[in-house]
Amino acid sequence: MLTLPITLNDILDVIRCQHTVVGPKDRSVDGPSPIDTAGERSLTFCNRQGERGSKMLEATAAGIVITGREHEGLCRDLGGRTFVLVDDPRLAFARVLDRYFSVSWPAGISDDARVSEDAIIGKEVHIGPFCAVGRDVIIGDGSRLEGSVTVHDGVTIGRNVIIRAGAVIGTDGFGFNRNEAGALEKFPQVGGVVIEDDVEIGSNVCVARGTMADTRIGRGTKIDNLVQVAHNVQIGEDGLITSMVWLGGSVRIGDRCWLSPMVSVLNGVCIGDDVTVAMGSSVIRDVPSGQFVAGNPARPTIRKE
């Protein structure tokens, strides 16, 4: 349970990076605040560089500010407040929030959830109200299903996975054939879904099961709200898939890719490692590793070093 106030030493214990402290070292705070509304009992951060960042630091009344090393001279001139200088202020601040101020999710299964007797549930798992977990599902240690998540039969979820409210994992893929009379007949979807460790899946995301092999989401990848992941998609590790992205069937995405909002990727397209796709782009051809693509259809614009 959080005990206030949080001291400067408490903050330094969790940022896990090299730092320089400028100003009083006996400072403590009661909570985080945006930089423009912070008071003397607040912790905040400044990620801005140059003149804009300087003006924000001059104007804030926050007691402790985590900011970049480029502002060291200004911070020493300001006096009175405490500044923690690091290479990545946003990352350091996020670690403090996560340690001291994040909402806790107690382990256990809600009385309003329905979990199959065949499911294998790991240790310290949270399954929220109105979740439905099907047969032969595996959920690893420390994972969290928020309210109204549906996990269909045969899905495997790794350790420390977060699946937010309303997501559907393992629904049938969209596969049909026209028969001799022109009517549509279902192509059965008999594969599964594998979600590896440390993945986060946002609200109202749909992940379809594979047709025969598994749809797979790689370790550490984060998927925003309202994303469609079709059957047989393979997503690599540590990727960012942002809101309203549509991934067609059998798409392959490499490691550390960033798909911006409202991107669509045509069925069967392969995207290499370390690719960035700009907002609203339509990817209809394979993209080699390391490229930045944009447009409709998406074209390379800047090759990343």
For position 293, which CATH number holds?
Answer: 2.160.10.10
Quote the DSSP letter at residue 287.
Answer: B
pLDDT at site 80: 83
* Tally of domains in the chain: 2
Q: How confident is the model at residue 304 (pLDDT cuts 50, 70, 90)?
A: very low
What is the domain range of residue 129?
108-303
CB 96 within 8 A of CB 77: no
Q: Is 1 part of a structural domain of the chain?
A: no
Give yes or no for residue 79 having a pLDDT over 60: yes
pLDDT for the residue 179 = 96
In this structure, is residue 117 part of a structural domain?
yes
* 228 occurs within a structural domain: yes
Largest CA distance in the chain: 81
Whether 1 shows a pLDDT value over 80: the answer reads no
Q: So what's the pLDDT on residue 19?
A: 96
**Catalytic residue among 71, 126, 152, 231, which?**
231
Last residue of a domain, one of 100, 128, 157: 100
Same domain (yes/no): 150, 204: yes
| 231 counts as catalytic | yes
Task: Decide which of 100, 126, 156 is a domain's last residue.
Answer: 100
| 156 and 118 in a common domain | yes
The answer on 94 and 194 residing in a single domain is: no
Buried (b) or exposed (e) across 248-257, using 16+ Cβ within 10 A? bbbbbbbbbb
- Position 289 in a domain: yes
User: Residue 296: is its pLDDT beyond 50?
Assistant: yes
Is pLDDT of 302 > 80? Answer: no
**For the ranges 14-18, 24-28, 195-199, the one whose mean pLDDT is highest:** 195-199
Residue 130, classed as helix, strand or coil, is coil
Q: Are 239 and 258 in contact (CB under 8 A)?
A: yes
The predicted-structure confidence for 83-122, as pLDDT tens digits, reads as follows: 999 999 999 999 999 999 988 899 999 999 999 999 999 9
**Listed range (83-92, 96-105, 199-208, 272-281) with the worst mean pLDDT:** 96-105
Which of 100, 123, 148 corresponds to the end of one domain? Answer: 100
Across the range 54-78, mean pLDDT stands at 95
Structure tokens belonging to residue 290: 């390391």
- Do 134 and 257 lie in one domain? The reply is yes
Whole-structure pTM value: 0.90
Mean pLDDT over 192-216 rounds to: 97
Task: Specify whether 26 is located in the same domain as 152.
Answer: no
Q: Residue 288: is the preceding peptide bond cis (ω within 30°)?
A: no
Same domain, 134 and 204: yes
122 and 255 together in one domain: yes
H or E, element range at 300: strand 299-303
Both 93 and 159 in one domain: the answer is no
More confident: 179 or 4: 179
The CATH number of the domain where 37 resides is what? 3.40.1390.10
29 shares its domain with 124: no
Is the same domain home to 60 and 191? Answer: no
Question: Is residue 254 situated within a structural domain?
Answer: yes
| C-alpha–C-alpha distance, residues 294 and 38, integer Å | 38
Q: How far apart are CA 57 and CA 100, in angstroms?
A: 24
CB atoms within 10 A of CB 186: 10
279 within domain boundaries: yes
Are 66 and 212 in a shared domain? no
**58 located within any domain:** yes
Give the mean pLDDT of the chain.
Answer: 95
Q: What is the mean pLDDT of residues 194-222?
A: 97
Residues 13 and 118 in one domain: no
Identify the burial level of 185 via C-beta atoms within 10 angstroms of its C-beta, where 0-12 means exposed, 13-18 middle and 19 or more buried. Answer: exposed
pLDDT at residue 227 is higher than 90 = yes
Collapse the DSSP code of 9 into the 3-class scheme (helix H, G, I; strand E, B; otherwise coil) and give the result. helix
**Lowest-confidence segment of 2-6, 80-84, 147-151, 168-172 by average pLDDT:** 2-6
